[in-house]
Amino acid sequence: MPKITQSLDAEQAEFDAKVKQIEEWWNTPRQAHIQRPYSATRIASLRGLLPQKYASSDMALKLWAQLNEHRANGTHEMTFGVTDPIIASQMAKYSQSLYVSGALCGFSEVSEPGMDCCDYPLDTVPKVVDKIFKSQCWHSQRQNHYRMLQSKEARANLENWDYLTPIVADGDMGFGGLTSTVKMTKLFVEAGVAMFHLDDLAIGKKKFTVGQGRTVVPTSEYLDRLTAARMQIDIMGADTMLLCRCDVDHSEFITDVIDVRDHKYVRGATLPVKSLQETLKEAVEAGSPNLLTVRAEWIASAKLLTFDEAVQAIATEAEYAAYTSKLGSGVKSIRERRSAAKETVSEEIFFDWDLPRSREGQFFYKSCVSAIVERALLAAPLGDVTWARMDMPNWKDIVSFHTQIREVYPDRLFAFGYTGDYDYPKAGFSPEAIKSFPSDMAKLGVAWQVQPIWALQGINYQTEKFAKLWRERGIEGYVEEIQKPALATKPLTDGFEKPSYSGSYLCDTFWDTVAVRDIGEGQGGKISEKRIR
Ligand SMILES: C[C@](O)(C(=O)O)[C@H](CC(=O)O)C(=O)O
């Protein structure tokens, strides 16, 4: 292996130039809002010596421009979840972006399908992004080639689609420790993603079926995840966008109390009862048929509250006012809260956050808008877009959240997911309110909106309908209901009129181009170069 013979001075000069280039890049309009806790020197030192350029940057810059235009106009992009390149090709005609959903990938892109527990390998979603992005490039190539086979006049009558639709993808919680997040980020950037999201959910605790809420990680762990992803994007010198998703809405647990910023939302028992785990163990030993009921009864008996709620429940009005004024503003740990209560409240406050801990050690947590706002504000400088994921749309909370964030970051871009199970009437939405929901949100800066799991309802529904038709009417049904309407669409749509979606003209030209050597330019009458001229 040859040694690098560059002088130390040359090496230093090259390194200093790289640092300068990174600093200049971080000052570009696309990057200027991002605040990193590390230096350009650190990033330069983490780079390899082979400079790379990633299509992810081009796609991100495109999405960045689209979304900022929407924000400025109070409009929005509306897309849905997809894992299939064919579906993606048709979406390109109406959507400015695509979404690769983790839940969908978990159902259809793995050999062992299952519920959205995020238990598939970290490269699952990046591989789907790669597949779709390559198909977008191919569609763009075949369309461009077909156009260039036509005269300028003929081209005026052809549809001309932008197949290079920016892809937004689901990075869930980063799939492990920080090195996993770094590796997943690298795969996403290499695959051509425009933006991906990371959330604050706990790995291995994404449970939706047991009637319990979500589990979030401490604020510090969430910020570390985002920082790890941002660092890797910077190492790659990419403009890839990072979407900071926060899952505090409807979360019931937090994995740890290590971060004092979370203390005010941790719930504890306010009565000196037996611990939840002891109670459940005894119930199992006694052969109790329904542990969920035992758990619910225990929760009621322990009177779970946050520390501040516990103080309020016991203190007089004057004492509680003295307590809050003693606490003052800023982040206060549980220790500081206890000592403020000791000084201001006559009765002793019983508060124990260990008694309710779950079998896996989780602490009970109080989900509320202020908790989401606090996290989102801390996360915002590391990313480009903010998404407060909701289990059920709550218009009051939506307005409150976005307004509070915009007070601090007026130009913030937001995302929103129309989770498949939303029961809009139950959430108080009239048919008119459902209709105007997307544009009402756009006015709050929610420029990117997605129905992530459309395929579950949509493809199932459409396929079931077609399977029935096929079963009942066979090829006649196909011809009448599929082929004819598809062919009746305008020329060169993807209903399979010639020259077709298959890109046959592209491989014809490959063959022609190669055969030129044997048959001679101008012979055979199919030389694509001739046709172009
Ligand atoms: C966006 C999401 O992460 C997904 O995997 O598509 C899911 C979708 C859903 O549950 O509807 C989520 O919002 O958690």
Check residue 522 and give its pLDDT: 41
CA dist 245 and 376 (Å) reads 8
CA dist 368 and 201 (Å) reads 16
Check residue 494 and give its pLDDT: 62
CA dist 129 and 85 (Å) reads 9
Check residue 499 and give its pLDDT: 55
CA dist 67 and 446 (Å) reads 9
For ligand 1, pick from 453, 456, 457 the residue to mutate: most ligand atoms within 8 Å of CB.
453
* Cα angle for residues 395, 426, 363 (degrees, 5° grid): 70
> 233 φ, ψ to 5°?
-60, -40
Give the residue, by CA position, lying nearest to ligand 1 atom 7. 103
Check residue 495 and give its pLDDT: 53
What is the Cα gyration radius of the chain?
Answer: 28
Give the residue, by CA position, lying nearest to ligand 1 atom 6. 101
**Residue 435 tokens, joined:** 């209709």
CA dist 171 and 184 (Å) reads 8
What value of ipTM does the predicted structure carry?
0.98
Is it the case that residue 61 has pLDDT exceeding 70? Answer: yes
Is it the case that residue 518 has pLDDT exceeding 90? Answer: no
The pocket around ligand 1, CB under 6 angstroms, is made up of 81, 101-103, 116, 170, 389, 417, 419-420, 452-453
Check residue 485 and give its pLDDT: 86
Residue 213 CA neighbour count, 13 Å, CB half? 20
Give the residue, by CA position, lying nearest to ligand 1 atom 10. 419
Q: Is 170 among the annotated ligand-binding positions? A: yes
For ligand 1, pick from 80, 83, 98, 101 the residue to mutate: most ligand atoms within 8 Å of CB.
101
Residues paired with 168 in a beta bridge: 99, 195
CA dist 54 and 190 (Å) reads 7
Give the residue, by CA position, lying nearest to ligand 1 atom 9. 419
Tell me the pLDDT tens digit for each residue of 285-318. Answer: 999 889 989 999 999 999 999 999 999 999 999 9
H/E stretch holding 141 reads helix 124-149
Tell me the pLDDT tens digit for each residue of 4-19. Answer: 899 999 999 999 999 9
Check residue 435 and give its pLDDT: 96
CA dist 300 and 312 (Å) reads 18
* Global pTM exceeds 0.90: yes
For ligand 1, pick from 116, 387, 448 the residue to mutate: most ligand atoms within 8 Å of CB.
116
* Cα 419 to ligand 1 centroid, rounded to whole Å: 6
CA dist 284 and 292 (Å) reads 11
Q: Which atom of ligand 1 is nearest to the CA of 208?
A: 10
CA dist 309 and 365 (Å) reads 13
Is it the case that residue 84 has pLDDT exceeding 50? Answer: yes
Write out the residue limits of the CATH 3.20.20.60 domain(s) in the chain: 52-250+367-452
List the alpha helices (DSSP H) in 286-331: 291-302, 307-314, 317-327
Check residue 525 and give its pLDDT: 37
CA dist 164 and 195 (Å) reads 14
Write out the residue limits of the CATH 1.10.10.850 domain(s) in the chain: 260-365
Across the beta sheet with 214-216, the strand order is: 214-216, 251-254, 363-365, 266-269, 304-306
CA dist 507 and 504 (Å) reads 5
List the alpha helices (DSSP H) in 27-123: 40-46, 55-73, 85-91, 102-108
CA dist 138 and 175 (Å) reads 30
Superfamily of domain 52-250+367-452: Phosphoenolpyruvate-binding domains (3.20.20.60)
Confidence of residue 506 (pLDDT cuts 50, 70, 90): confident
Average pLDDT on 25-37 reads 98
Check residue 526 and give its pLDDT: 43
On whether the CB atoms of residues 389 and 197 are closer than 8 A, the answer is no
Check residue 533 and give its pLDDT: 36
**Residue 133 tokens, joined:** 């992005």
* Cα 172 to ligand 1 centroid, rounded to whole Å: 9
Average pLDDT across the chain, whole number: 92
* Cα 453 to ligand 1 centroid, rounded to whole Å: 7
Is it the case that residue 155 has pLDDT exceeding 90? Answer: no
CA dist 231 and 382 (Å) reads 10
CA dist 141 and 143 (Å) reads 6
* Cα 395 to ligand 1 centroid, rounded to whole Å: 19
What CATH number labels 260-365? 1.10.10.850
* Cα 252 to ligand 1 centroid, rounded to whole Å: 18
Check residue 502 and give its pLDDT: 76
Question: In 87-120, which positions are buried (b, 16+ CB within 10 angstroms) versus exposed (e)?
Answer: bbbebbeebbbbbbbbbbbbbebeeeeeebbbeb
**Residue 507 tokens, joined:** 């491989």
Taken in order 214, 217, 222, 228, the sign of the CA dihedral is: negative
Q: Which atom of ligand 1 is nearest to the CA of 116?
A: 5
Q: Which atom of ligand 1 is nearest to the CA of 419?
A: 11
* Cα 182 to ligand 1 centroid, rounded to whole Å: 22
Tell me the pLDDT tens digit for each residue of 378-420. Answer: 999 999 999 999 989 999 999 999 999 999 999 999 999 998 6
For ligand 1, pick from 170, 248, 249 the residue to mutate: most ligand atoms within 8 Å of CB.
170
DSSP conformation letters of 349-372 = PP-BSSTT--TT-PEEE---HHHH
